[in-house]
Structure 1
């Protein structure tokens, strides 16, 4: 298996780097919206995804594919035991269109329903993150590990609060934020789920959290965090589910438990207030 995965990595790396050149040179493009006012897409999202999938299909025609733009139109397929490439052509498109550098190309490979390979490339910072299951995580070829943090009071949380603009997630995010701010050392919101995960893996952040995402937001980054020694769980409690990713990623399991204890109290308060409101309406 290991030799086969290395072959996949060796093949996909030049594709990712070529796609990065397309991003860096992008100009004069229109911005479109995909339903929500904050969910933007450009021709480069579609162009890069098409290029990557086309090349991979030519090399491995029996493999399966899940891509952000393709899946938005056609629906997300369920995972099978077949090798499945999960692609986000531009994670952080809202950053990209504003000239901010926190955006990247993300490719994950799942085999037998297990995250096996992760590649994340930020061409604006010339940062290439890679991981193969069981072989560690790397940044530009150098081994990376999380910073090993366990003290929540000294931890900086990268919290994707921008999703709170959606009415579906507003209460969830705001209740948790209210509770977390009393205990953490700082907060950031970077606008890219994949980069947020990689920042935990490389030790730049102690924790990253985002709810309401899609497989392509987590297929590469979650593996990179785990291979760097970090911990990822479902923010609702329980095991992380790639096909329904609501995740908390932390430098250590110990730190995750401290975050989750606080968030469970926030979720309980939110539910109790909902019950009170329903009783009042009756």
Structure 2
């Protein structure tokens, strides 16, 4: 199918819808939230996540009836992640940083991207609490509140501010890997920061406020808009292995300067290998202990 798109109209329409939806977050920040959990006690959802996603999808579907949607709360409710096709597809996170939102911590945002033929064409990340509107169109640069932004040119890890999403240490199966990486980076980097919102963290890399962000435990709606924003600001996003980034299976290594990537990927591999070796030794020790008690 050939899709005829007026990207200017798409951008203007979704921008208006995003600004209006942002008022819900701003008005609700200090109010009472009905809190539920999804994949674990650390993964929260409120009535506002669901409400905003419904508003966004309903508005976009009415204006663009042939477009498709991948929304965080829709996927959570159906337990089905749609395939990304060539069709115009809106990828939506109604509230990125829900835990921040629940605690009235002001780093929370709406994140929306339009992907056409698997290319991210539009990216919007809007934090209505701090009045931060990050925007990008493919090939047209990245902006914060209408002012062009550029990523950092720092090319050495020892001079870099690194962002790591430490809350994923709540996942027991990968806790040791994450904490191993934190230990590895904190011993070399200029500093470590945790913001609690993948979309906003990517935007901080885009604006040059930090040099590096890494996380393996993300989804397309966490990163789609931010990936375009950081690339349009002069940075780039890779897989944490250092290879090509996969939007639908995002393991994020985002850098302001691509020269950082080989050093960072090497450090990640070294840290992970150390943890894997520890797991093997621990498993062997546990096996020996089990065997000694069998008699």
* SS at structure 1 position matched to 2:74: helix
Q: 2:163 aligns with which of 158, 166, 180?
A: 158
Give the deviation of 1:6 after TM superposition: 2.1
What does 1:66-85 correspond to in 2, within 5 Å?
66-74=70-78, 75-85=80-90
Quick check: 2:239–2:246 contact (8 Å CA) kept in 1? yes
Matches of 1:257 and 1:224 in 2, distance apart? 22
1:253 corresponds to 2:258: yes
- Larger-Rg structure: 2
What does 1:128-167 correspond to in 2, within 5 Å?
128-167=133-172
Structure 1 unaligned residues grouped into runs of 5+: none
| Residues 2 and 116 (structure 1), Cα distance of their counterparts in 2 relative to 1, 3 Å cut | farther
Quick check: 2:36–2:45 contact (8 Å CA) kept in 1? yes
Match of 2:47 in 1: 43
Give the deviation of 1:211 after TM superposition: 1.3
Match of 1:64 in 2: 68
* SS at structure 1 position matched to 2:208: coil
Q: 2:249 aligns with which of 244, 254, 260?
A: 244
Quick check: 1:176–1:266 contact (8 Å CA) kept in 2? yes
Matches of 2:254 and 2:174 in 1, distance apart? 19
Matches of 2:99 and 2:110 in 1, distance apart? 14
Matches of 1:127 and 1:244 in 2, distance apart? 27
Match of 1:19 in 2: 21
Quick check: 2:109–2:128 contact (8 Å CA) kept in 1? yes
* SS at structure 2 position matched to 1:169: helix
Q: 2:208 aligns with which of 196, 203, 209?
A: 203
Give the deviation of 1:28 after TM superposition: 2.5
Tell me the TM-score normalized by structure 1. Answer: 0.96
Quick check: 1:5–1:132 contact (8 Å CA) kept in 2? no
| Residues 89 and 271 (structure 1), Cα distance of their counterparts in 2 relative to 1, 3 Å cut | same
Aligned residues: 282
Q: Any idea what the Cα deviations from partners look like across 1:207-260, whole Å, max 9, x if unmatched?
A: 111111111001100110111001211113311111111101111111122211
Matches of 2:242 and 2:189 in 1, distance apart? 20
Matches of 1:182 and 1:136 in 2, distance apart? 34
Give the deviation of 1:120 after TM superposition: 0.6
* SS at structure 2 position matched to 1:274: helix
Matches of 2:128 and 2:4 in 1, distance apart? 27
What does 1:158-197 correspond to in 2, within 5 Å?
158-197=163-202
Quick check: 2:242–2:261 contact (8 Å CA) kept in 1? no
* SS at structure 2 position matched to 1:41: strand
1:10 corresponds to 2:15: no
Structure 2 unaligned residues grouped into runs of 5+: 289-295
Match of 2:293 in 1: none
Which deviates more from structure 2 when the two are superposed, residues 1-10 or residues 112-121? Answer: 1-10
